[in-house]
Structure 1
Amino acid sequence: MLSVSQRGQLLPPSPYRHLTPYAEAARQRGLTVHPLNIGQPDIETPPLMRAAVQQADIRVLEYGPSAGFDSYRQTLAAYYQRQRLNVTADDIIVTTGGSEAISFALLACLNPGDEFIVPEPFYGPYQGFAVATDTRLVAVSSYLEDDFALPPVAAFEALITPRTRAILLCNPNNPTGYVYGRAELEQLAGLCLRHNLYLLADEAYREFCYDGAFTSALELPGAEQHVVLIDTISKRYSACGARIGALVTKNKALRDVVFKLAQLRVCPPGLGQLLAQAAADLPADYFDHTKAEYQARRDLMVRRLQAMPGVRCPEPRGAFYVLCHLPVDDAGRFAQWLLEDFDLRGETIMVSPAAGFYATPGLGRQQMRLAYVVSHDIIERAMNCLEAALQQYPGRQE
């Protein structure tokens, strides 16, 4: 009898998509399901960027360079330079979304069986990327009671083994919204220098910090050869479907290996690069409105959550997610119950149970992630649903 690979069997389900069949069934029953489970912004992709694709005079959509169009890499380098980063086009490999950049980073920096350390809770697919690249994710726990601050560097150091090759950090953090400051990043960079480790910096939400300045790992003095920046336009310009990301490194030997990986998949999406390159023509204040809108949504959602009895909710400082504790027996069961057995005047919500963002068994069992990527009206209606559901849920715990 045929069997699938062990790798395929070990791949974990998506922590934010696995309830989709239940949501579809709820919609077929006539319910309105408000999607708070996934970071798909409702903010319009800039018309100027869309027009670059709509008006392109292309007769043959041909292969592009494996590293990405030189014109786009120059544009992207100029963007980083405006962020005070010493980046040139030669430091950039354009990728098929941030997901491919993560995969390339693990394949280029780690050997099969090697380990990388990640603070948990973490972006759920990191577990899947570890399985797919035959590497091992090692989690160091952060806690809601500490607002998910970076664990002590000693906790990272205690996990280092002869197989450890990298530390992976998402900043601002998905799913917690925590923003790691310069002092925390310098501590991690020092650790990487002492133990000769890579620092993989997933900065997909770099534009969305609400309560202070953002520090990129590429700003850290002396760590340039160790830092691998993972980036994407998906959240920055509300262009998730364009599938354009980037891997940026000053380490030429590493960049050459990543380039060979890029050649294997031939080239990143050409139309997506046209769209992304047009971002150079956006006004300098483009992010001011978007950032203010997300901050207002954050304030509304956090205010509503913190007013609910039994809910504990740190205020996220960046990205567009809230990770909160609920007075329920199990957030996974609660999330499914919301879609199968609950509605408030024909409405319910889809959420992400937080256990899928942890590697340590048992952690996150009473937590869930909510994305504030919908309008103020939808947030209000969704919070009304959640408040009523918490009162009615059979597995409520005080």
Structure 2
Amino acid sequence: MPKISKKGVYLPSSPIRKLSSFADMTKKKGIKIYHLNIGQPDIPTPYHAIESLKNTSIETLAYGPSEGFENYRKKLVKYYEKCNIFLSPNDLIITTGASESLAFTMASIADTDDEIIIPEPFYANYKTFAQVYGIKIIPILSSIENHFMLPPISAFEEKISVNTKGILICNPNNPTGALYTERDLHALKGLVKKHDLFLISDEAYREFVYQDKQAPSLLSIADLDQHAIMIDSVSKRYSMCGARIGCIGSKNKVFMESVLKLAQARLCPPTLEQFAAEAALDTPDQYFESIRAEYKQRRDTLIEGLLKMKGVVCPQPEGAFYCMAEFPIEDTDHFARWLLEDFHHKKETVMVAPASGFYNHGALGKKQIRLAYVLKSQELKRATEILNSALESYLGNTFEL
């Protein structure tokens, strides 16, 4: 039997999706699952985006430009101006989701055995993309005690080596909900300029910030043009996860030329979905005001329910729609699977994402769980009631782990 590659063997499974087969079996037993494991919003996609798909008059679904349609990129420029980000259409390349943006970026800035520094816990696919290209992730640990805020700049500088090519952040952060400030970005700016590194900012959750705060964009920071790379996506912003439209933004022309070569190799991003993404840009500001209020209520409902549980610690997230909670158990991977295979409360259970997959070394997250507050408040309230009952039952049993 032919052997697959070492990469194929050792690539990590998604902590968000790896329990899907168990969830499918649970549903077949007639048990309802509250999905807190995945950031799939239930907010309706904006009317303009859906209508653009219904009204298309295309007769032949042809290839588009590798860098994305110019009309869409021009309209994105106007959107970014509202965010204090000033770009030209040539500073943008449209990608098949932010995932492709991240993969293209890593491939363009780093060679095999080069290093990228990332605060952890981090979005799990960062590790997957890095391993595909033979890049080493150098983690900088953020702590739940400090609400997962940006670690000290000195901790970053200690990790810089001759192989370091860049620093990658997610702001607002997935999986923790932490929000990095403009002061944080300026501190990182000084570091990357001093050591001549790239600074990459994943800004897919820009609109989801609470307590009257804002998420500063990396591209709004002056005098950083040759170092700054922005990763973005329509998935969460417009509740269009299935559209798979993202983009890379940078004024570094050499970097963008490299990205374009990769974009040409995969031919083009999806055509119809670009039309929908372009139409979504007509969404009025009131849309974001209403969904921010909705997510804030959901956040407060989930955090309130979690903090009622004995021994659970969970800092209040300031952005995105995730929280990272610590549970008084030794192995949340086991707990998450047990919730699906062996537990239900009145024919209902909860699916969660164990945090080990969000750390470079999984042992650091063994007591933590990422939860997404993408369900309605009443459902979140019920989900926390189930979790509380499950935790009490789990702690009352002895397991061989």
> Do these two structures clear the TM 0.5 threshold for a shared fold by scoring above it?
yes
- Counterpart position of 1:274: 275
* Counterparts of 1:360 and 1:193, CA distance in 2: 29
Q: Deviations over 1:99-136 (max 9, x none)?
A: 00000100111112110000000001111001112211
Partner SS state of residue 230, structure 2 = strand
Q: Give the conservation status (yes or no) of the 8 Å contact 1:120–1:141.
A: yes
Q: Deviations over 1:289-341 (max 9, x none)?
A: 01111111001111111111100000000000010000112111110110011
Partner SS state of residue 281, structure 2 = helix
- Counterpart position of 1:155: 155
- Counterpart position of 1:55: 55
* Counterparts of 2:299 and 2:27, CA distance in 1: 27
1:285, distance to aligned residue in structure 2 (A): 2.2
Equivalent residue runs for 1:1-398 within 5 Å: 1-211=1-211, 212-394=213-395
Q: Deviations over 1:236-270 (max 9, x none)?
A: 00000000000000001111111111000000000
* Counterparts of 2:258 and 2:367, CA distance in 1: 42
Q: Give the conservation status (yes or no) of the 8 Å contact 1:331–1:353.
A: yes
Matched AA of 1:197 = L
**Structure 1 350/361 Cα, relative in aligned 2: closer, same or farther at 3 Å?**
closer
**Structure 1 224/59 Cα, relative in aligned 2: closer, same or farther at 3 Å?**
same
1:284, distance to aligned residue in structure 2 (A): 2.9
* Counterparts of 1:173 and 1:220, CA distance in 2: 19
Q: Deviations over 1:40-62 (max 9, x none)?
A: 00000112211101110010000
Partner SS state of residue 297, structure 1 = helix
Q: Give the conservation status (yes or no) of the 8 Å contact 1:329–1:395.
A: no
* Counterparts of 2:299 and 2:397, CA distance in 1: 25
Matched AA of 1:317 = E
* Counterparts of 1:284 and 1:392, CA distance in 2: 45
* Counterparts of 1:109 and 1:86, CA distance in 2: 23
Please provide the CA RMSD for this pair: 1.1
Of the structure 1 ranges 326-335 and 240-249, higher mean CA displacement relative to structure 2 is found in 326-335
Partner SS state of residue 105, structure 1 = helix
* Counterparts of 1:387 and 1:26, CA distance in 2: 19
* Counterparts of 2:237 and 2:270, CA distance in 1: 18
Q: Give the conservation status (yes or no) of the 8 Å contact 1:390–1:396.
A: no
1:190, distance to aligned residue in structure 2 (A): 0.8
* Counterparts of 1:226 and 1:288, CA distance in 2: 32
Corresponding residue pairs, total: 397
1:379, distance to aligned residue in structure 2 (A): 0.4
Q: Give the conservation status (yes or no) of the 8 Å contact 1:328–1:396.
A: no
Matched AA of 2:195 = H
Q: Deviations over 1:174-210 (max 9, x none)?
A: 0000000011111111100000000011001001110
Matched AA of 1:345 = K
**Structure 1 317/396 Cα, relative in aligned 2: closer, same or farther at 3 Å?**
farther
Matched AA of 2:290 = H
* Counterparts of 2:251 and 2:217, CA distance in 1: 14
Question: What is the TM-score with the length of structure 2 in the denominator?
Answer: 0.97
Q: Give the conservation status (yes or no) of the 8 Å contact 1:329–1:396.
A: no
1:360, distance to aligned residue in structure 2 (A): 2.7
* Structure 1 segments unaligned to the other structure (5+ residues): none
* Counterparts of 1:14 and 1:282, CA distance in 2: 32
Partner SS state of residue 365, structure 2 = coil
Partner SS state of residue 166, structure 2 = strand
Matched AA of 1:264 = A
Question: What is the TM-score with the length of structure 1 in the denominator?
Answer: 0.98
Q: Give the conservation status (yes or no) of the 8 Å contact 1:15–1:353.
A: yes
* Counterparts of 2:315 and 2:345, CA distance in 1: 26
* Counterparts of 2:209 and 2:281, CA distance in 1: 21
Q: How high is the sequence identity, in percent, across the aligned residues? A: 45
Partner SS state of residue 33, structure 2 = strand
1:280, distance to aligned residue in structure 2 (A): 2.6
